[in-house]
Amino acid sequence: MSSGGARKAAAAAGGRVGAARTVAPWIVACSLLLCASSVLFQEQRILMFLHVRISGAEGAIGVNYGMIANNLPSPDKVIAMYKANNIKYVRLFHPDTTVLAALQGTGIGVVLGTLNEDLAQLASDESFAASWVASYVKPFAGTVTFRYITAGNEVIPGDLGVHVLPAIRNLEAAIRAVGVTGVPVTTAVATSVLGASYPPSQGAFSEGAAPVMVPLVAHLLSKNAPLLVNVYPYFAYAAEPETVQLGYALLAGSSATSNSKVVSITDGGLVYTNMFDAIVDAAHAAVEKAGAQGLELVVSETGWPSGGGATGATVENAAAYNNNVVRHVAAGTGTPRRPGKAVETYLFAMFNENQKPEGTEQHFGLFQPDMTAVYPVDFAGSY
C-alpha cells in the first residue's frame, strides 16, 4: 500500500491521526480529588533499560502496528521485529494482506480491525461482510492466529456508532459461514463512552453512548467476546497537569526503581494507586451497570508520547509509563475491582509515525522508523 493509501486507511480505521482527545469528565473529577490529597511523592527515578516480560494469553503485552508514515520498514521486517522482541500480540487498525502474509506461521496473536468507513456497509450488506471475511480472514485462518476482529475504532458515541452491533453480527455470520471458529468479533471504544461519574465504582455509560453500548455489551457477553477499551492516562495528565499527580498517571507505584510515595484513592474499600486501574475499573463498573456482569475488558491502546513539545511528553516519562504498565500487567494482579484477573494490554505504538499531525501524535512509538529504539526496551528481559 502506498504511503498515501496507508494514511487514508489508517485514518478511516480510526487510528490515532491527531483528532483532539476528550478527557472523560469522571477523570477530571478524579484528578481534582487527587490534587486535594495531602500525600506527597518524590520524583520518580527512571531506569532507562526496560525489562519487559511478555507472557501468555493473560497478562500479555501486545503492540499496535500503526502505519501513518512514509518511511516505515517493510511489513516482513516489522513482523521480524515483533518476533525478535518476543512480542506476542499485534493490533492492526485496518486489513492489509501484505502484513497478514508476513504474520503467517509466526504464532503472533492478531487483532484485525475494519475501516470505520466500511461500518455502514458491513452493517447493512451481508454480502459485503462475507466478501470482507473472504478477503482478509478465510485465506489466512489456517496460518494466522486471529485473536479478535474489531468492527470500528472509537466511533461510539457518534453517527457511526449505530452500525457497530449490526456489523458485528454480519461479520460473525460470515466467519461462521467459512468454517472459522474461535475468533470473537468486537469493537474498540475510547473513554468518551463514559459519563460524568466518580469514583470508579460509579462508572456509567454517557447518555449519548448508552443506547449503543447497552445492547452491544449484552451481545458481547453472550458471545464470550471482550470489549476493547483505549486507555490513556497521559491525556488526563496533559489536560490538567496542575491537578493530576504525575506519579499517579505514570503508575509510579509499579516501578521497581522508584522510592516515590504515590497518591492513592479509596473507593468503597478498594484502593487505587494509579490512573490506569481507575480508568479500567470505571469501564468495568459501566459494563456491570449495563447488565453485562463478567464481560472481559481488553486494553487495546495505551501509551505515552516521548516528544512533541507538550506537557509531560518526554523520553523519561514515556519510558517510565510503558515500563510500569508492562510490569503491572505482567504481574497478573489485575485491578482492584477485578483482582487476579490479568488485563490483556496493547501498547501504542510500534513506531513514531511522521505523517501524523506535528506534535505528540508523532511520538508515541517504541521504535524509530530505522528500527532503533526510541528508548531501550528489552522485551525478553525480566522485571
Cβ atoms 185, 148 nearer than 8 A: yes
Assess whether the previous peptide bond of 157 is cis (omega < 30° from 0). yes
Strand partners, 301: 230
Any catalytic annotation for residue 43?
A: no
Name the grid cell of 180: 472459522
184-220: burial string, b at 16+ Cβ within 10 Å, e else:
bbbbbbbbbbbbebbbbbbbbbbeebbebbbebbbbb
Catalytic option among 296, 301, 344, 353: 301
Nearest Cα neighbor of 276 from 30, 39, 14 is 30
d(C-alpha 172, C-alpha 168), whole Å? 6
The phi and psi torsions of 298 (rounded to 5 degrees) equal -120, 130
Q: Is 154 a catalytic residue?
A: yes
Render 81-141 in DSSP notation, one character per residue.
HHHHTT--EEEESS--HHHHHHHTTS--EEEEEPPGGGHHHHHH-HHHHHHHHHHHTGGGT
For cell 447497552, the residue is: 214
Q: How far apart are CA 314 and CA 306, in angstroms?
A: 4
Choosing from 154, 240, 353, 361, which is the catalytic residue? 154
Residues belonging to the active site: 154, 301
